[in-house]
Structure 1
Amino acid sequence: MTIRNAISQIWYTRCPVPTPVGLATQLGLLDETFAREGITLNSIIDSKDRNIRSSHFNHHLDYSFRHGGNVPPIRARSEGNPTRLVGITWTDEFQAIITLPGTGIRATRDLVGRRFGIARRPPGIVDFMAATALKGLVSALSLEGLTHKDVEIVDIALPDSVLDNRDGPQLYGLRNRQAYGPEIAALLRGEVDAIYVKGTPGISVANLFATHTVAEFGFHPDPKIRINSGSPRILTVDERFAEDRPDLVAKLIETLKRASAWAESHPDDVRRFVAREVGASEEVVASANGPDLHKHLGIGLEPDLVEAIGHYKDFLHEWGFLASNFDIDAWVDHRPWALLDTRAVA
């Protein structure tokens, strides 16, 4: 193959959730793979430069890849940002509607006419947490034949962008602020009656405040109920990376597949590595992601996975989170996978 562009560094980023990228990073596999090519990996999310960090959400950096929640990359694509969808991982996680004891809300039908709180960030970066909470609400209500019109949606205004307050004493030495603080505070003040939570932070706050679970559906048998910002998660690369060095994109995917294969035979190590990734205890990880987490860190581009992303993209468009609609199939890039298949045959 003729290399059309030699590069010395690649930017990458991942969300603090279970992903093959996070696993491959902790195992040293990604550094090893790209070092053989004379390439240095630089972390977007750990940069001190706000403009660089913003690429975690808008994917603007050339020669970069991202693996994590799907709302920001879907929004970036809807804005015309030239990226390619090259891999999808489906790792189910705890998703629930919770309330405080004493509200009288015991089941989903009790939400009718009650106040459902959704945290809202200032305009700018797509409000992925609001999108996540809305999809969770819609999913839960649909199981009882209800819609969002059956509840009162109450906005919980947040003052800062997700790019702000990345350091300082208010974080107490941690990298990120614990999720769902404003939502829980609104519950405690009696301003809302119920909220949506998910993943390890959702389990943690539900446990801390001894909340009542109104509905839990993160492992529901119907995939369209489970589909949300983190189910599934997507691997995207920018267009220059995809066009100039498809061979390196193929090596990236190959490395992630190695990490996924390793995970299947190392369940205890996976739980420990993910706990480090998400900033939670192994007990919380086991509760949030289930006992078979190690079996659900694979990556692919099968039609059902692409369809799931399309389903959530349509939800985001319907609810006004996208700049415009777009064709999911035109976003998907199968070329790196074809390169891998060619190597396997050879």
Structure 2
Amino acid sequence: MADVAAVAGVSHQTVSRVLNGHASVRGETRERVQEAIEQLGYRRNSAARALATSRSATLGVVTTGSALFGPTSTLIAVEEAARDRGYFVSVATLRTYDTSSMHQALEHFMAQGVDGIVVIAPHDDVAAAVESFRAPVPVVVVAALEERPESALAPGSTPSATMSVAVDQRAGARAATEHLLGLGHADVLHVAGPQDWFDARERAAGWREALEARGVVPARPRTCSWSAKDGYQAGRDLAEAVVAGEGPTAVLAGNDQLALGILRALWERGLRVPDDVSVVGFDDVAGAAYFVPPLTTVRQPFATLGAHCVAMVLASLSGETVAVERIEPELVVRSSTGPPRRP
């Protein structure tokens, strides 16, 4: 930095202000410093900066190692948002979700001196393990924690003061169900994801609320994994019911993979979508617009989610009070949904 200051003809403090993005530096001076940085090939010494500021400019991210669209997209979004704010990301992947494994990952981050932690916590076991850890740095959990049942917290543990942020899964499922009811369908089947996942429970709750608001008594959702294979099996049963004149004419799938399996099963049975059955998915995965037919689905704004995670950590580091955040998803209507066929 002293060399940069000498070449640019400014003080060491001015170079520091330019590097830290302070607005109090004149544009001409800033350009001169940037030119000197490029000329000399200067790079910040992160270790030295950490010693000087007591900040590592690093965030720890705990993820489950799942290849599923939601957790993977969230991880990518958090990393991109952190990089945009000048932070590095250190990732710990868990294959098992017990308290010991989670605490080991969190202690690993403490040893690294991270400034904050983001935990991608799609289901109960992950969130419960985080809640029992008393971290000295801000922790943001990507999950609807207020919906977590008390039984999910390990016996004898003390909940920690974590912040949470999540896409409003309930609102997304409610909007999807209302869309189907608005088209004239009398009932909507829900093929749900595993109920130890926050997102699956919230989506089921939104579907139920939309039906009850229309005076429809919801049947029990069909609970599956998140796989297209399970969607296919549910779709085969649905197809037989529809052919017999007993099945609902609309279905909300817990994610787009389940919807893909349902579409295949309906096609095999000779049923047309949306003429015989309307199908809605959830996530808007890459390629959903090219399913046959193109899939109506709920799009999750992962970039916004990642930005909120990082912003909440940094706000907490600045001593600000941070509220729980819920981010609105978007219903994307395509040609897999339409009015029911009239008798």
TM-score interval for Structure 1 and Structure 2 normalised by the shorter chain: 0.3 to 0.5
Normalised TM-score (structure 2)? 0.40
